[in-house]
Amino acid sequence: MSLIHALVARGTTILAEHKAGKRDFSQATTTILSKIPPTDRHEAKLTYVWEQYLFHYVSEGGFIYLVMADEAAGRRMPFAFLAELQRQFLSTPTGSGSLDDTPAYGLQGSFGPTLSNLMHTFNTSPPVDELTRAQNELNQVKSIMVQNVEQILSRGERIELLVDKTDVMAGQATAFRRGARAARRQMWWKNTRILIISCFVALFLLYLLAAQFCGAGLNHCTAPH
pLDDT of residue 24: 83
pLDDT of residue 162: 41
Specify the CATH number for 3-162; select among 3.30.1330.30, 3.40.50.880, 3.50.30.30, 3.30.450.50.
Answer: 3.30.450.50
pLDDT of residue 163: 44
60 by Cβ neighbours in 10 Å (0-12 / 13-18 / 19+) ranks as middle
pLDDT of residue 61: 85
Domains of the chain: which residue ranges? 3-162, 164-216
How many residues in total does the chain contain?
225
3-state secondary structure the chain: CCEEEEEEEECCEEEEEEECCCCCCHHHHHHHHHHCCCCCCCCEEEEEEECCEEEEEEEECCEEEEEEEEHHHCCHHHHHHHHHHHHHHHHCHHHHCCCCCCCCCCCHHHHHHHHHHHHHHHHHCCCHHHHHHHHHHHHCCCCCEEEEHHHHHHHCCCCCECCCCHHHHHHHHHHHHHHHHHHHHHHHHHHHHHHHHHHHHHHHHHHHHHHHHHCCCCCCCCCCC
pLDDT of residue 160: 43
pLDDT of residue 131: 56
pLDDT of residue 37: 82
Q: What is the mean pLDDT of each run of 10 residues along the chain (225 residues)?
A: 89 91 84 81 83 89 91 88 93 70 89 93 76 62 58 53 53 75 85 88 82 70 53
pTM of the model: 0.57
Amino acid at 166: T
pLDDT of residue 159: 41
91 half-sphere exposure, CB direction, 13 A CA radius: 7
User: Residues 96-105, buried b or exposed e (16+ Cβ, 10 A)?
Assistant: eeebeeeeee
